[in-house]
């Protein structure tokens, strides 16, 4: 080792001890790696945090859409014999599209309900005014409402012109209604494990 190399070696040793040998230099590969500044680290952590939030929002969106599709009721079917077959939904109930006084509604079919029943908000949008005051006795207690007669109601392709309709439904979305016996009594009903069948009397 020449004098020049010896001098370089001693200088490198001193710099190594002080931790100032440049990383990646041709004669100092054992030096310390560069440090990430606090500002850079904060930037990385910030965007990493938002990335995690975006990921979980995307996951929740996919789960919501999947569950919405899974729980969506299947459409009713009208057979050549004139039967209306309504598949049971995933939640165990039967649903069917229809109208009350021309206003679209999604019916929850309730064979134990005495009348077709809608909410006060729906009645206002459907022009269902007047009627006889009444009290509905529900699981949550008595509810003041009113009863109208001679209202046209449809369920799928089936139409009945003079139906008794109660106003005062609570606990369901505004666009939903109960399809009760004031409509269903016009049909012969058969309920199986997977569907409800309506046949003309």
Residue-wise pLDDT for 4-60, tens only, equals 666 766 776 776 666 544 544 444 455 555 565 666 656 656 666 666 676 667 767
| Nearest-5° Cα angle at 14, 10 to 15 | 115
Q: What is the pLDDT of residue 102?
A: 96
Nearest-angstrom CA–CA distance, 37 and 134: 75
Nearest-angstrom CA–CA distance, 86 and 191: 10
Instruction: Residue 96: name the closest of 168, 187, 166, 170 by CA.
Output: 187
- Phi and psi, residue 172, nearest 5°: -125, 160
Nearest-angstrom CA–CA distance, 21 and 33: 10
Element (H, E) at 46: helix 38-71
Q: Is the dihedral of CA 158, 73, 150, 127 positive or negative?
A: negative
pTM: 0.63
């Amino acid at each position: 080792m020449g004098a020049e190399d010896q001098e370089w070696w001693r200088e490198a040793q001193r710099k190594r001890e002080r931790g100032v040998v440049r990383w990646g230099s041709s004669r100092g590969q054992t030096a310390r790696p560069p440090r990430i500044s606090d500002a850079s680290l904060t930037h990385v952590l910030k965007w990493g945090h938002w990335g995690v939030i975006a990921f979980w929002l995307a996951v929740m969106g996919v789960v919501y859409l999947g569950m919405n599709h899974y729980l969506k009721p299947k459409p009713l079917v009208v057979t050549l014999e004139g039967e209306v077959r309504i598949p049971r939904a995933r939640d165990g109930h039967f649903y069917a599209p229809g109208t009350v006084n021309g206003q679209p509604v999604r019916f929850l079919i309730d064979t134990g309900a005495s009348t077709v029943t809608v909410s006060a908000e729906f009645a206002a949008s459907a022009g269902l005014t007047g009627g006889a005051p009444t009290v509905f006795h529900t699981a949550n207690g008595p509810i003041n409402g009113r009863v109208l007669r001679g209202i046209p109601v449809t369920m799928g392709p089936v139409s009945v012109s003079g139906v008794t309709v109660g106003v005062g439904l609570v606990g369901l979305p505004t666009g939903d209604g109960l399809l009760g016996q004031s409509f269903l009594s016009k049909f012969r009903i058969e309920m199986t494990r997977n569907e409800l069948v309506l046949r003309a009397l």
